[in-house]
Structure formats: structure tokens, C-alpha cells
Amino acid sequence: MTKRHKGDLDPVTFEVLRSLFEYSCERMTEVLRRSSFSPILADMLDFSNAVYDADLQLLSQAANCPVHLAAMKFSAEAIINKFGFDTLKEGDVYLVNDPYQGGTHIPDMTFVLPIFFEGGLLGFAVSRGHWMDLGGGAAGGQSYGTHIAAEGLRLPPTKLYTNYEPNDDIVDIIMNNTRTPHYVKGDMQAHFGALLAAEGELQRAAKRYGVNVLRVAMKELQGYTERIIRKSIERIPNGEYEAEDYADSDGFRQKIKIKLKLIVKDTDIVVDFEGSDPQCQGAINSPFANTASAVFYSLQFFLSPDAPQNQGMFNPISIKLPEDCWLNAKWPAPTIGCTTLTSSKITSALWQALAQAIPERVTGSTYSECNWFVASVRDRFGKSDVFSELPAGGWGGTPYSDGMSVTCDPLGNCMNMPAETAELLFPIAYEAFEFRTDSAGSGLHRGGVGATFKVRFKGEGELSMETSRTLEGSPGVNTPFRSAVQRQTKIHTDGKAEVVGGLTPNGDWKNPLLAGLRFAPGETFMFESTGGGGWGNPYERPVQDVLDDVLDDFVSVEAARDEYGVVIDPDTLAVDEIATGERRAAGIPVPENAAE
């Protein structure tokens, strides 16, 4: 248990500096968003920003991508391990994206700036962004091969700026290894600007309050958060709670398993992944930094999400990983799907374990995916570019309400690319982005609804995509039903639909990790995302709510009957309820706790 830091910091100054640390990160975010060139940063907000103290302990972070935030510390540590604290100088900026040195997947570029004041190290600014393309066998690095080399340019900890000036040789190397050089320099300068924003805020604070006061505030803030988190853990019953989930495929075999044991003891949590599958052949292996980040953000949803976000959130949580495990990737394991696919399955498994401990507080699983696709597109003049999108799905039902619909998975606070932006920049056309009927898991509180997404290629394209939940949908809490499965479909110019990922109409299954799938002009890609898992007995859902869902096309008349026991005449809207006994007699599944 941490003790309150002994210092001269009064409560008002503490609160002012806490807000200032948070504001520093928020300002980084605004600078990066407004000045970046690529739409994946400027429009989709696939980036994160944070500040750390001089000991590389998280001080504050912006509400950006959760899967980035806890992992960024490992990138900064890798830089210090290579260069050492003694070599750091004002105006130096370091860069790393190596998955085995604090990184996650190759497109996530992490920039680190040591912040000095009057010659002393005050802290660090860290900015991570998912860049549109860094080479590899397919656009965005989504080649889904068996070696990390196929996924693009892998940079070890590297000094990119010296005394605020870029190393042009390093910049040229990056420019030569991307399909989108027109974005690279602008995005690099945007990250640099974000780092400078944090540097200026912390230096002004040190000048106004003094370095000693600032350092006391940093440690006291971290201790304050840790006390809140430990108090939250105390509200979870002591015990060991086990759960499993899986990725549908690594491209070579089905059902790559996650097995975990959540161990709660007083004010500490241990997450033990013993029993999870070994490192796999395909490109969904997760480096330690990514696995740790997924564990940390997944637990914070149910500990104290409103507490100041800093190192104190992580100190009470320990992680145990087998050495040979797909969640502890080692060179040369490919990792391109680790953040977008694997981290969401870790979240789902953890939430299923928590549902055993605190079922009255835990939600059903989300659609548990990022559904990241990226396409190399060519217009009629032969100019090529890279287009990316993240078709969202539904979150799980809660103990209090239905789940959120068409919302990015908890791994990221990202946005869908606006159709207007996409059609302006790329030779594509959006044909649909609409709610998908019967996609949500049923329950007293149903899951949020997924979406049907269609994009038509106006020129030639090569599409790569990772997804999962194509074998079965997301589980709920206290309900036997899952959400729908996800599916990828290619619609030819003659209107013929061909399932290219997931379950086909005749029950066959196709690998949903697509690499460089070719599209001719006029062909359409359709993706059907799933909803979240439900919460509670669907028989207890008010009949009027079921009727409203049918009227909104969230639930079909057939699903209302089969999963909720509510019969609705589609012509008259007359409503009747099926008695549980009649339902059993008819062979319709009934929740175990359904009343007769």
C-alpha cells in the first residue's frame, strides 16, 4: 500500500498541477490532430500522447487510444536502455517502432522527447501515431506472412532530431519505405509539434512553481491514483477467476486460444496467461508491451476510470506470461494484427473473468475487434494512394442499459473516416454505412448494434483486412445468446456476391485475414460487423422495448420470437408473449433461469 508523499504541496496547488499535466497531453492532441497530413491521424484520430516524469513513470495521458497508452512506456524504456539517461540532451527526439523493443505493430511510430529545465531532466513527452503505410508486402503492412520482415520498415531506437533539427538521412530512409511519402514529413512534423507543446507547458510550470514543487506533485499524483485503484480492487471479491477466448485464425489454423486466470487478493491483481497457445505462425502475435497495455486498459473500465491516469493505475496489477506464447512475441514472429485483433480478445477474456467476480457491474463483450482494413487504390490517371477504415460494431449490454451501437472497440478512441473526406481523397465511393439487423446479442439489456459497410472501388484496388468473430459472435453476461458473426463479401460488377472471409451461405468458412485481395473498378467490398453481447435474461426484456427494436430494424420479427419470446404480427404490430413451457416444447432455446 502506498503512503501519501510527505511534502509541502497544498491541496490547491496539487489540483492545479494535476490539471496542468492533463492539459499538456490534451494540447499535444490538438496540435497533432490539427497539423497532421494523413487522414488516419487528422480524421480517424489513431494516435496517443502522454507525459512522463524523469523516472519514466507515467504522469498523465490524453484520452486517445487505450491500446497505445500503456504500451508507450515500454518504447520509451527501450530508448533509454539503448542511449542511457546521461546522453540525453535538450532538443533530441527519438523514434522507435520495433515490436520487440517496446513497440506493438510496425505502423505505430513512437516519438520521445526528453524535457529539460535549467539543465536538469524534468520529464518526457511521448507521442505515438499509427502511420498509413511503412512498406511491407501489402498496403499498411497487412501481408499476413510468417516473418516480421514482410510487414514493413522496423526501426530500432533511433535519434531522429538533434538540437531540434531532423536527421535527414533517417527521414530519407523512412520516405523510401512507404507507399505514402506525401504524408510522411507532415505527420513527422505534427508529432514534433505535439512534443514541443508538452515541453513548453512543463517548462512554464517549472518556472512558475519551481522544479521541486513540480516533482513533489508528480509523485503525489501517482500515489493518489494508486490509492484509488487499490481501494477499487478491494471491492472485488478475493478469488481466482478463469476465462478463455480466441482469435478465429492466424491465417494458417483456426482458434488461437487465450486462457487466463484473474487472481484478486486484497488490493492486488495478477493476470496469469498460463495455458494460452504458443507463438503462432501467422501475423497476430502480440509483443509483451501490447499484451500489457490490453490488460491495463481492460481492467481500468471496472476499477476507477475517473481517477487521474498515471503510473498509479498500473502498480497494483501484475502480469504473468509463458515464455513461448503468442501473447509474448519474440523475433521473427509477425505482429501486424496484435493491436487491432489480439488486444480485443484479451479484453473479452478479462471481462468474462470479471463477470464471474462482479456480474452486477460487468458488461457483455464488445464486438471485440478493430476490423482494420487498408487498401492500395489507383485512380484513372495511374496515381496510387492508401485508403484505410475501421468499420465499428456494438458494445456489450450493461447492467443498466443497452450497449452502444457502432462504436469503436475499447482498444481505441478512433473515429470512422468521414465519407466526404474519403471520397474527396481517394477513388472510392461509400454505398452504405447502416445499422445491421439482428447483429446484437440479446438480453434484458441487449448489446449495441453492428453495421453494414459498403465501399465501391472506382479504380483498381488491393484490399487487406484483419477481422475475427466470424466463427461465433461475442458472448454476453447471464444470457445464453451470442451476437451475430462478422462477414466480408466482394460484390462483382454484375451484382454477384462472393463471401471472401467468414461463413459462406452453404456453411463453408473462409480465412478472414485478407492480404492484397484485388478489386476491379466498379467492384464493391461489403463488411458486416457484429454487435455486442447482451446482459441478462432476454425473457425479462420489456415487451415494449422488443417492439421498439423491431420497429427500428435492430431486431427482426423472427429474432423477437426466437430469442425474446415475443410474437409480433408484422402487419398489425399486435404483440403476444410465448410462455416458457411452450417455448421448450417447441424446441426453442430457453435461458436456464427463465421463469415458467
Q: Give the model's pLDDT for residue 357.
A: 95
End-to-end CA distance of the chain: 50
Q: Give the model's pLDDT for residue 552.
A: 95
Banded pLDDT at 480 (limits 50, 70, 90):
confident
Average pLDDT, stretch 209-228?
Answer: 96
> C-alpha distances in angstroms, 143 versus 151, 284, 375, 383, 502?
6, 11, 12, 22, 18
Alpha helices by DSSP H, 365-502: 419-425
Q: Give the model's pLDDT for residue 595.
A: 47
Q: Give the model's pLDDT for residue 3.
A: 46
**Three-state SS at 453:** strand
C-alpha cell at 367: 464486438
- Separation CA 260–CA 275 (nearest Å): 7
- Averaged confidence pLDDT in the chain: 93
Banded pLDDT at 380 (limits 50, 70, 90):
confident
Residues 6+ apart with CB under 8 A from 549: 446, 555, 560
Query: In terms of Cα–Cα distance, which of 95, 339, 45 is closest to 195?
Result: 95
Confirm if 77 and 56 have CB atoms less than 8 A apart.
yes
Confirm if 91 and 196 have CB atoms less than 8 A apart.
no
pLDDT at 91 over 90: yes
With pLDDT > 70 as the criterion, what percentage of the chain qualifies?
A: 95
Q: What is the pLDDT of residues 254-305, one digit of tens each?
A: 999 999 999 999 999 999 999 999 999 999 999 999 999 999 999 998 998 8
Residues 6+ apart with CB under 8 A from 570: 557
Confirm if 533 and 482 have CB atoms less than 8 A apart.
yes
Average pLDDT, stretch 311-315?
Answer: 95
pLDDT at 551 over 80: yes
Q: Which helix (H) or strand (E) holds 487?
A: strand 487-491
Banded pLDDT at 478 (limits 50, 70, 90):
confident
Q: Give the model's pLDDT for residue 6.
A: 46
Q: Give the model's pLDDT for residue 354.
A: 95
Q: What is the pLDDT of residues 69-89, one digit of tens each?
A: 889 999 999 999 999 999 999
Residues 6+ apart with CB under 8 A from 183: 37, 38, 131, 132
Average pLDDT, stretch 310-317?
Answer: 95
Crossing angle of helices 543-551/557-564, nearest 10°? 150
Q: Give the model's pLDDT for residue 591.
A: 57
C-alpha cell at 464: 487487406
User: Side-chain half-sphere of 530: how many Cα atoms within 13 Å?
Assistant: 29
Q: What is the pLDDT of residues 519-548, one digit of tens each?
A: 999 999 999 999 999 999 998 999 899 999
Looking at 19-119, which runs of residues are DSSP E strands? 47-53, 58-61, 93-96, 108-117
Q: What is the pLDDT of residues 321-362, one digit of tens each?
A: 999 999 999 999 999 999 999 999 999 999 999 999 998 899
Banded pLDDT at 379 (limits 50, 70, 90):
confident
Q: Which helix (H) or strand (E) holds 41?
A: helix 39-42
Higher pLDDT, 335 or 568: 335
- Separation CA 461–CA 457 (nearest Å): 7
pLDDT at 160 over 60: yes
pLDDT at 4 over 60: no
C-alpha cell at 345: 480478445
Q: Give the model's pLDDT for residue 448.
A: 97
Banded pLDDT at 63 (limits 50, 70, 90):
confident
Banded pLDDT at 549 (limits 50, 70, 90):
very high
The angle formed by the CA atoms of residues 385, 387 and 393, to the nearest 5 degrees, is: 175
Q: Give the model's pLDDT for residue 15.
A: 94
Q: Which strands sit side by side in the sheet containing 514-519, from one edge to the other?
A: 384-389, 373-378, 461-465, 514-519
Q: Give the model's pLDDT for residue 116.
A: 98
Q: Give the model's pLDDT for residue 570.
A: 85
Q: Give the model's pLDDT for residue 584.
A: 59
pLDDT at 136 over 70: yes
Q: Give the model's pLDDT for residue 515.
A: 94
Q: What is the pTM of this model?
A: 0.93
